[in-house]
Each structure stands twice: as C-alpha cells, then as structure tokens.
Structure 1
Amino acid sequence: MQAAVAAGLLGAGSVYLGAMEYVAQMLQEGLQKYGADCDRKEVAKRILGEREERGLQMPGFGHPIHRPVDPRTPKLFALAEELGFAGDHMAIMKEIHEQFSTKKGKQITLNVAGAIGAVLSDMGLHYSVVKSFAVAARAVGLIAHIVEEIESGRKDCMAQKLYDFVEENTLYTNRIPDEVK
C-alpha cells in the first residue's frame, strides 16, 4: 500500500498541488509589500498589476469542470468566516477575483486551491508549508482509491498492476555492482 501511495504522490507536483502554495505566497508577499500603505482593493490591484507586468499567471483561478463557480470555494470561505479565520488574505483574494474577472470581461472561476491558499494564510501559516496540506489530502485520497479497488475484488486494480510490473521488470541478484563497492 505504501508503495502505491508513494507512487501516486510522486506524480503530484507544482501543477496540481502547487497552486495553493503559489496563492499563499502571492497574498502574503503582496500584503507585506503593499498592505501597510494601501486598502485591500489597492493591494489587489497592485498584485494583479505586478503579476501582469512580470508575465506571471494568476494562481488559484480556473477549473475544467467547476465553471463559473467552484462550489467548494464559497463553502470554504463561509466556514472560515464562521470559525473566525477570515482575514486580510481572504478579503484580498476575493478582491483579486473581482478585479481579475472584470479585466477578463467574464466571471473567472476562483478555485478551491485559491480559497485554501487564502484561508491558510489567514490562519497564520507560512506559504512554504501550505502545499503539505494538499499532499496529506492526496495521500488520504490515494488510500481510499486503493481500498476501493481491493474491496471490489478486481484483479486489475492499479496497486496490483504496479506491484506486478515491478516484480516482472526487476532483476534481483546477490552480486554487488563494482561501482557500488
């Protein structure tokens, strides 16, 4: 099981799990850089302008299925409000969303990665650890998939396929290669 989970985590990189870290970094650095001198609308405007000037994409936006609203985002924001974690980062992210959508001339999806980056920032977590929450969630999801395959009794489950592939393609020997000695 742990090998299958590890293999699944190795495929999770900056595209699928990095967005919430990038959002948190963008918000934390933007608030630190502009927050003392500006209101939230101006901070959002400056963050958007700086990213456009540098040719950087906007992390936390877009989704292949959830359009124009990712239903997880308003629920997460509401929960953060209810629990007292809604702060400047979340407010700035909402303002960035409004300004970004206006600039594009259509409603752009603020996805759950964008919401998580904002909420975890308001919880006081440094952006460098935000991705660890995504990794932990992905690990639990992978375990659920493996358990589902095992319980279904399917002979073609992915965990078994991975195990069989490694077994069939690994040459085991007692000889220690010269370059290792």
Structure 2
Amino acid sequence: MRSAICRSDADSIRIHGLDLTTDIIGKVDLGQMAFLEIWGRLPTPEENAVFNALVVSLVEHGLTPSVLAARLTYLGAPDSLQAAVAAGLSGLGTVFVGSIEGAARMLQEAKAADATEDQIPALAREIVARFKAEKRIIPGLGHPIHKQVDPRTGRLLSIAAENGFRGRHVQLLEAVAAEAERSLDRHLPINVSGAIGAIASELGMDWRVCRGIGLIARTIGLVAHLLEEIRSPLARELWLRTEHEAQPPE
C-alpha cells in the first residue's frame, strides 16, 4: 500500500515531491497548500486567485444551522473542540453548502466541457425539464436569505472571468438559471454554492470532492464561532429559551 501524496523519514517530509520545510513553509499560503494537496501541484497565479476566492467566500455566513450545531455541541462537550467542529461540518448537506457538489455533478454529467456554445440552451432545457419532472430542487439556484441576488455570486463569477475560467460550466449554469425562471415562473438566482460548483468544474475538480471546498472553508469559520462561544456564550441561552418556548400550552 502506498500514497502519492506524502512521504516522510527521520529528516524530511515531502508532499507531492516538494520539501515541506524548504519549498513550502513560508512560501506557500493555505489556499495554495489546499490546491497542492488536491491537484498534486501548485496552482498558477490565475488558479490561485480563483481557488482562494472560492474558499474565502464560504468561511462565514452568520449563525447558520451548522454554527448552532457546533455551539450547542460545545455546550455539552467543552472538552472536545473537534467534536463541536465535526458536528457543524456534519450539517453541510444538500441544503447548506453541500449543494456545491450537486451543482458540479449536474454540470459535469451534462458534459458541459464538451458542448459548443450553441448547444448550451438545449442542455439547460433538458436539465430543468428533468429536475421539474422528478420534482427535485435544482442545485445551485435560490437562497433563503438572498432571494433576489446572492452578493457573493457576481463577485466570484467576475474573478473567474478575469482569470480565464468563465467556460462552458459557468455558461450552462447561467442558462439553467434563466431556463428555470422561465419554466418554473419564479426567480431563482444563482447562489454561491452554484457558482462555486461551476467554477470548481472549470478548474477541473471532480464533483465528488467539490463539497470539500465548503468543508475547508467552514472549518475556519466554525473555529472562530467556537472561540466566540467561549468568550461570549449564547448556546446555553439558546437551549433554555428553546426549552421554555417549546413547552405545550397549559
């Protein structure tokens, strides 16, 4: 059994052929390191700008369900920071953050990369019709808070375009959004998860690990929320108020 990612001995640690102490530490930032681990090489400047933007966009979004799960877990197990972080990460699924994976899968399985620009509208119609017939939510569209425009989406798509990553996956997602609005007769903006799924696909990332971008990002945010919970706790009040308000009427 062997792994191509890392080898270490008594004197050195090598990651995808680079020496950790002489080639990486002090020279490679966290985003570049994540890219190196996933792709097996350091990113180009353009790839680095885009990948870092994807990760940064998902670090923080307030008192989300995953944050509340982490804080409440810490309330019950303050001796286990990792369990609280894990509890928060476990809530990243098809509704929150995990829709990155669904959007990327939808675009990649449609063979967007192989399509011509003229074929994009027909692909979009096929996708929307299939999801509509199956009564399934189209991943990457709509948001419970940002109902008109997800402010993160436009910025990410701009950065992708500036760095040469506005290709067929992005074009297909935009066409799907337009077709969904026409077919379903409701406004469904491209959300940040959809944008990330499309741009990650432009980077050549396998849809099966695209959710990992959200996991990397939200881990940082969860640690910050747990530090705030230590310094200025709210989980106990949340628990007690919920217990009080959930009592049946007399």
Between the aligned partners of 2:117 and 2:146, the Cα distance in structure 1 is 36
Structure-2 residue corresponding to 1:52: 132
Moved more, 26-35 or 84-93: 26-35
**Do the aligned partners of 1:146 and 1:158 also contact (CA within 8 Å) in 2?**
no
1:169-180 correspondence runs (5 A): none
Structure-1 residue corresponding to 2:187: 107
Q: 1:120 aligns with which of 200, 203, 207?
A: 200
**Do the aligned partners of 1:28 and 1:127 also contact (CA within 8 Å) in 2?**
yes
1:89-108 correspondence runs (5 A): 89-108=169-188
Identical-pair percentage: 37
Structure-1 residue corresponding to 2:107: 27
Moved more, 41-50 or 28-37: 28-37
Per-residue deviation, residues 111-130 of structure 1 (Å, max 9, x unmatched): 11111111111111110010
For the residue of structure 2 that corresponds to 1:145, the secondary structure is helix
**Shift in Å, 1:79:** 0.7
Q: Does 2:157 match 1:77?
A: yes
Structure-1 residue corresponding to 2:212: 132
Per-residue deviation, residues 102-159 of structure 1 (Å, max 9, x unmatched): 2233422211111111111111111001001111111111011112233xx33x4659
How high is the TM-score relative to the length of structure 1?
0.77
Q: 1:148 aligns with which of 228, 239, 250?
A: 228
Greater RCO structure (CA 8 Å; 6+ sep): 1
**Do the aligned partners of 1:34 and 1:43 also contact (CA within 8 Å) in 2?**
no
How high is the TM-score relative to the length of structure 2?
0.57
For the residue of structure 1 that corresponds to 2:107, the secondary structure is helix
Per-residue deviation, residues 29-75 of structure 1 (Å, max 9, x unmatched): 11269837961111111111222233332111111111211111111
Structure 2: runs of 5+ lacking an equivalent: 1-80, 237-250
**Shift in Å, 1:12:** 2.6
Q: Does 2:156 match 1:63?
A: no
For the residue of structure 2 that corresponds to 1:45, the secondary structure is helix
Between the aligned partners of 1:53 and 1:24, the Cα distance in structure 2 is 20
Q: 1:4 aligns with which of 84, 88, 104?
A: 84
Structure-1 residue corresponding to 2:32: none
RMSD: 2.5
Q: What number of residue pairs does the alignment pair up?
A: 157
Between the aligned partners of 2:106 and 2:177, the Cα distance in structure 1 is 13
Against the structure 1 CA distance between its residues 22 and 4, is the aligned structure 2 distance closer, same or farther, given a 3 Å change threshold? same
Between the aligned partners of 2:111 and 2:201, the Cα distance in structure 1 is 11
Structure-2 residue corresponding to 1:179: none
AA aligned opposite 1:84: G
Between the aligned partners of 1:37 and 1:56, the Cα distance in structure 2 is 26
